[in-house]
Structure 1
Amino acid sequence: MAENRRGLGRGLSALLGEAEEGQEVQAGQAPAGEGAREIPIELIHRNPEQPRTHFAEEELAELADSIREKGVLQPILVRPSRQQPGEYQIVAGERRWRAAQRAGLKAVPALVRELGDNQAYEIAIVENVQRADLNPLEEAKAYAALMGRMQYSQDETAKVVGKSRSHVANTLRLATLPPTVQEHLMAGRLTAGHARAILTAENPAALAEVVVSKGLSVRETEALARAKTDAPKKASGPRAKPKDADTHALEADLEESLGMAVEVIDRGGAGELRIRYATLEQLDELCRRLTRR
């Protein structure tokens, strides 16, 4: 992939903060390439491809209170709307835009940039994943969508968003959890640490219900997952052997190549290869690769 797309996370703060302190702010339309300008809120619209889908009411209320007192301290990033001339689409900063509306502001400071669809999509994802309050499941789906859309590997995705490859790989696995577990994760009843521990369980959905009902810590969840995994089971065929270093390396290589969670289960020379996809786009890509002549 093109080098100029790597490390976007490190350059985003410069893009968002390039308006000089003390620069005059004027109302009305903002020509592309200039500093921050005040743009009427009604001329700004959300991006339907925004990675973040959940905005906590309490946090929005707190931010709105802060904006009433101090104003919007950091400009949002927008691009000219292609469907509505003279209006703008948010690239980064939807939460500030929502809170500004609650605070009763008529306009917000914004940087206007001419951005293509793919570039705007990358920036939106980077801006969100760099914020600590992004839900881990939304983060996982954002990585999966970015990989599917841009055909990035896990390593390339990690460089784009400024994260480690292991972080991207571990986060992607969260999107393979059962729907009931994902609901707990989205609602905040489970943390990313809980979810990673539950992933290793034979019945993640059942374990999640126990964790939520008892309010278990991450360490307690890990211990419970290990206990259930190590519990003796009725033999229904050759038992899977403990994985050696070569098997783990093979799984890592396949995950890197496919951009999906892979598990190799060997039972004395026979076994299974499990590939978990997080989105329908990933499934389509897997089918395309398997049927390629």
Structure 2
Amino acid sequence: MSKSIRHLMARPTPEPVSTTTLSTESTTSPPLSGGNNPSPRRTGAARSFGAAWQAQEQARAAADAERDGSVIELDPEICDPSAIADRVPDTTDTAFDAFVEQIREEGQRSPALVRPKPGEPGRYEIAYGRRRHRAARILGRPLRAIVRPLSDTELVIAQGSENLARADLSYIERAHFARNMVQAGVTREVVAKAMGMQAPHLSSLLTVADAIPASVLAIIGPAPKIGRPNWLTLADRIKAATPEQIDTALAASGLFGKTSNERFGVVLAALTPAPKATRKPKAETLKDSKGLKFARVERSTSGVRVTTDEASEPGFGDYLARRLPEILAAYRASKA
């Protein structure tokens, strides 16, 4: 039976293991296969025995870690991310490059949280620590992790609790995570608990997430400096655009080499509707019975403009101006 998430989260997390001296509470799995290649002289039986021994030792270490919550080292190749994505990939994420270099130089400071993967003995599912897992794979190092037997609900809540502590998780990534949980069949009550928010705020997140197609999000990325109002503006423009216009915006040449925030601006600008051309009304020329022009009438939404032709009818403009009060009174009388 799974323990309550409160009890699990209340359990103390050990201090990071030094790269030179291991804690007596930590159990380290055998080195990764990439750094311990078998000699060509070893027989197939020896290699088979070595692989079986390594799997047995790793299973034993994981079992010990489940009991006491200690940190162990796992081969990142047997660890799978949670099925519910909480990150939006970004190929221009320089912060991640710096994160990898920090781990290269200083080691993995905080452990990931994993659970034995249901239905797949010998594999683990990551509750949180995706970036640490990715960095470990890049560096060819073990993933330092705590193994706990979490239920599906506990896994989601643990993943959401970790998200709340992340200063670098953008608005759209939070919305993306909430939507992914709902689409995976997690109840809104559990999603709200995992996100640490009230139902109205969750509905707001889901509204934004549902309005941004996956193709648009894949091009823009996490856009850490872009908040809800701008995403809502983009959602409105996407709704008003044709599929062809959206495809054109996502293929804009200005996207190349830009940061995620800048790509948002490029896509938003590309979907900005062109201003509607205001049609200037055609002017009407007034002629007398002999065909002589005596005035010009221009109509617009704001009124009517009359220009008299002083060359053909001198003084008519002054006469018309003096008679305007009488004309107005006659007009009003006709409406009575």
Name the TM tier (shorter chain). 0.5 to 0.7
**What does 1:186-225 correspond to in 2, within 5 Å?**
186=221, 188=223, 191-193=226-228, 194-201=230-237, 203=240, 209=249
CA apart distance, 1:125:
3.8
State the TM-score, normalizing by the size of structure 2.
0.50
What are the superposed Cα offsets for residues 213-266 of structure 1, whole Å, 9 maximum, x if unpaired? Answer: 696998xx79x98998x999xxxxxxxxxxxxxxxxxxxxxxxxxxxxxxxxxx
Give the Cα separation in 2 of the matches to 1:123 and 1:192: 25
Give the Cα separation in 1 of the matches to 2:215 and 2:118: 38
CA apart distance, 1:130:
4.2
What are the superposed Cα offsets for residues 13-48 of structure 1, whole Å, 9 maximum, x if unpaired? Answer: 755x52257753221313214233232325631135
Letter in 2 for 1:145: N
Distance 1:35 1:118, change over 3 A: closer
Give the Cα separation in 1 of the matches to 2:8 and 2:272: 39
Higher relative contact order (CA 8 A, sep 6+): 1
Retained in 1: the 8 A contact 2:14–2:70?
A: yes
Unaligned runs of 5+ in 2: 18-22, 30-60, 256-261, 279-336
Larger gyration radius, structure 1 or structure 2: 2
Letter in 2 for 1:45: C
Aligned match of 1:259 = none
Give the Cα separation in 2 of the matches to 1:188 and 1:50: 20
> Is 2:115 the partner of 1:120?
no
Give the Cα separation in 2 of the matches to 1:26 and 1:195: 46
Aligned match of 1:247 = none
Identity of aligned residues (%): 23
> Is 2:209 the partner of 1:174?
yes
CA apart distance, 1:159:
3.7
Give the Cα separation in 2 of the matches to 1:34 and 1:129: 26
Aligned match of 1:94 = 130
State the TM-score, normalizing by the size of structure 1.
0.56
Residues paired across the two proteins, number: 216
Aligned match of 1:49 = 83
Give the Cα separation in 2 of the matches to 1:12 and 1:55: 32
> Which secondary structure does the structure 1 equivalent of 2:221 belong to?
helix
Give the Cα separation in 2 of the matches to 1:131 and 1:204: 34
Give the Cα separation in 2 of the matches to 1:217 and 1:37: 40
**What does 1:104-183 correspond to in 2, within 5 Å?**
104-105=140-141, 107-128=142-163, 130-134=165-169, 136-148=171-183, 149-153=185-189, 157-172=191-206, 173-178=208-213, 181-183=216-218
1:18 counterpart (13, 16, 26): 13
Aligned match of 1:39 = 73
